[in-house]
Amino acid sequence: MLQLQPFTAKDFEQLIDWVSTDAFLLQWGGPAFTYPLTTAQLHQYIFGANVEDATTYVFKAIDSTTNACIGHISIGRVDRIYRCARIGKVLIAPEHRGKGYGGQLMNEALTYAFGELQLERVTLGVFDFNEAAIQCYEKIGFTQHRFIENARAYHNTYWHLIEMELTKERWLAAQRITV
């Protein structure tokens, strides 16, 4: 079972270790970060996060049986008027991939978004080559909303982005089916 806890400066070094290449940083953090990832960038990232009425919530994921930190996720662009937000910065630690943590991490974040924050819609972006993540998101109930060709330039190539969305109603329906 996973638990979300606020991501703090104490967690910076571990996250920096997980982000080992410029390609991975671009995939994980988009243009908001530059390689190599630094503590200064992470301080800016969490500035104003995880406080009352914040627009960004940044979490580490803790396996409650081992107390190990196994991942990271954020809920950003929180709009309380339109009751929507965007999931981002999804990361499972390299040594914990392929063990089913991705779905658990997403469900914990969605529980927070739809429960604690009382949102009605959550979006995310995923590059089309990240098939494991796409399958995970679809299993949870996300659907493709838009396809953006050449969304990111990386060296001499372009990456295509799939925008996905999930409503609270569809997520709750998917929970009843998969539980």
Q: Where are the domains of the chain?
A: 2-178
- The per-residue pLDDT for range 88-132, each reduced to its tens digit, is 999 999 999 999 999 999 999 999 999 999 999 999 999 999 999
* Encoded tokens for 88: 């981002």
| Pair 37, 13: CB distance under 8 Å | no
Contact predicate 59/7, CB 8 Å: yes
pTM of the predicted structure, to 2 decimals: 0.96
Q: Is the pLDDT of residue 1 over 80?
A: yes
Please determine, looking at this structure, whether the domain spanning 2-178 carries the CATH number 2.60.120.260. no
| Ranges of H-type helices in the chain | 12-18, 22-29, 39-46, 101-111, 131-140, 168-178
Give the chain's length: 179
What would the pLDDT profile of 62-81 be if each residue is shown by its tens digit? 999 999 999 999 999 999 99
